[in-house]
Amino acid sequence: MDKSNSRRGLPEISINIHFLYEWRREPLWNFEYFSNPFYTIWLVINGCRRIETRTGSFDIHPMDLLIIPPNTLFRTRHCQAYKDEIHYLAMGVGIHCGDIPFEFVCRLPLQSSLSLDECQSLSQLWSRLLHQWQGSQSRDGFPSNRQTARTLSQADDELDNLLANLEFAAMERGMMASLIRYCEGASLEPFEAIDERVLKANLIMRHSVGNKLSMSNLCEQLFISEGHLRALFQANLKTSPMKHFLMLRLQRAKELLLTSGLTITEIAVQTGFDDLHHFGKMFRKYEQTSPSRYREMGRGE
């Protein structure tokens, strides 16, 4: 089957904020290698730090915007010998175009230097979003569909909750639009450049993170040979199909470690690992730490 030459429109973008903080870290503060399963975004208000990844390092300063892609190991160090506190706004956000990770279709620079007006505008939007997000954490969410009898007061509360959720969704999109607009050198990758069979394989994998999925079973669903699928993944994503599937399972494990109260054994089962030992071995290999330590570090962020 040949790759389709028809132009595909970009799917609907979904945004999910996982955390929003304002941090004032002490002069001696740093953290060791850590990777979030979603975008990590900082806006530096005051102070500086060196950001180190597996591929390089750079210094961040006031009015710098930092955008770390999902599953990227990074750590902080002091800038030279100078130790000072650092004040920054932090956000963890998952972005998808339909079922496709946003990083597949948009390349964002790790570091951008903002103007004073841009920094102030982004800070104000961030503060409003933080206020709204904190308020949403105290609400019970949407009412149950099973509820049949409601008082007028309950109906009003539900309407207020609906309006607040719609307002927050609009603010999320406004924030991401501003972030991308202020990035230096952001580029949209041609969506058509990703082979449809790779996109379909990615979708099957995402829906199978808790199940057994062999290479042969995946190829049967795609009506393609194993060698051809390996070649497509290498050409499109610079990795193998099973390595990509493992990374999706570890990504889901990290999400559960950070956002759920499940035990590590339960998380291992839900992400398709045979046993706790195998899960811990794979996690340490790619995340440079144990699942329990990862959860502790994530709560510190």
Residue 4 included in any domain: no
Tell me 110's DSSP state. S
User: Do 255 and 291 have their domain in common?
Assistant: yes
User: Do 115 and 256 have their domain in common?
Assistant: no
Comparison of pLDDT for 299 and 242, the residue scoring more? 242
Res 132: pLDDT = 80
Residue 106 included in any domain: yes
Res 147: pLDDT = 37
CB atoms within 10 A of CB 253: 26
In this structure, of 97-101, 205-209, 279-283, the range with the lowest mean pLDDT score is: 97-101
pLDDT > 50? residue 141 = no
Per the structure, the complete domain to which residue 275 belongs is given by: 194-300
User: Do 265 and 128 have their domain in common?
Assistant: no
d(CA 206, CA 171): 28
Res 189: pLDDT = 60
Residue 129 included in any domain: yes
Confidence of residue 123 (pLDDT cuts 50, 70, 90): very high
Confidence of residue 9 (pLDDT cuts 50, 70, 90): low
What integer is the mean pLDDT of 122-144? 70
CATH classification at residue 274: 1.10.10.60
SS3 content of the chain, % helix, strand, coil (to 5): 45, 20, 35
User: Do 115 and 245 have their domain in common?
Assistant: no
CATH classification at residue 102: 2.60.120.10
What integer is the mean pLDDT of 212-221? 94
By percentage, how much of the chain surpasses pLDDT 70?
85
**What Å distances lie between residue 60 and 64, 110, 112, 158, 228, CA to CA?**
6, 10, 9, 43, 43
What integer is the mean pLDDT of 104-121? 90
User: Do 163 and 204 have their domain in common?
Assistant: no
In this prediction the pTM is: 0.81
Res 201: pLDDT = 95
Give residue 145's identity as a one-letter amino acid code. N
Residue 86: closest CA among 134, 22, 39, 136: 22
For the chain, the domain total comes to 2
Residue 145 included in any domain: no
Res 192: pLDDT = 55
Tokens of 146: 């099973």
Residue 146 included in any domain: no
d(CA 112, CA 114): 6
Residue 1 included in any domain: no
